[in-house]
Structure 1
Amino acid sequence: MKNPWLMVELPGKPGKKLVEAWESLDADYRAAFYPHLIGETSAEFLSDWLARKGHAVSASTIRTYRRSIRQSGV
């Protein structure tokens, strides 16, 4: 059976860089990252975490994504 985190897509309409970063993470990292991405962890912290994994996703991109989720009611 496949790990369910490998099949999870991000809700809403994430930007291209965020999708690319998400798709490159293995299941364990996705499982750790997801609650923080949709939660209250600072966008700056998450941007830094992704940068350490080799993905340049700005804090602004993360904030915009979170705002789009809230507005769409996802």
Structure 2
Amino acid sequence: MPLPGIPGPSLDRIWASLGERERDLFFDHLFGGTSADWLATTLRKHGHDVSATTIRTYRRSLAPEGVRE
């Protein structure tokens, strides 16, 4: 299952590199109440380069679709 909307190259690379269990956890944090700063820092600690701004922009892009409010 791909990420909804248009996640961009950084988030696409991260998603593609994760196993099923990791994707479940990532999805929960990406669309849950986890701050973008915490998520970006945690991902960088595990070798996935992404900025908090990229995460915020992606989340905002989904709001009009009703995926995230």
| Residue 63 of structure 2 is aligned to residue 65 of structure 1 | no
Match of 1:21 in 2: 14
Q: Name which of 16, 21, 44 aligns with 1:51.
A: 44
Match of 1:4 in 2: none
> RMSD in angstroms over aligned alpha carbons?
1.0
> Larger Cα Rg: Structure 1 or Structure 2?
1
Shift of 1:72: 2.6
User: Gaps (5+ residues) in structure 2?
Assistant: none
TM (normalized to structure 1)? 0.83
TM (normalized to structure 2)? 0.88
Shift of 1:40: 1.7
User: Gaps (5+ residues) in structure 1?
Assistant: 1-7
Match of 1:33 in 2: 26
Runs of 4+ in 1 over 3 A off after TM superposition: none
Q: Name which of 2, 5, 9 aligns with 2:2.
A: 9
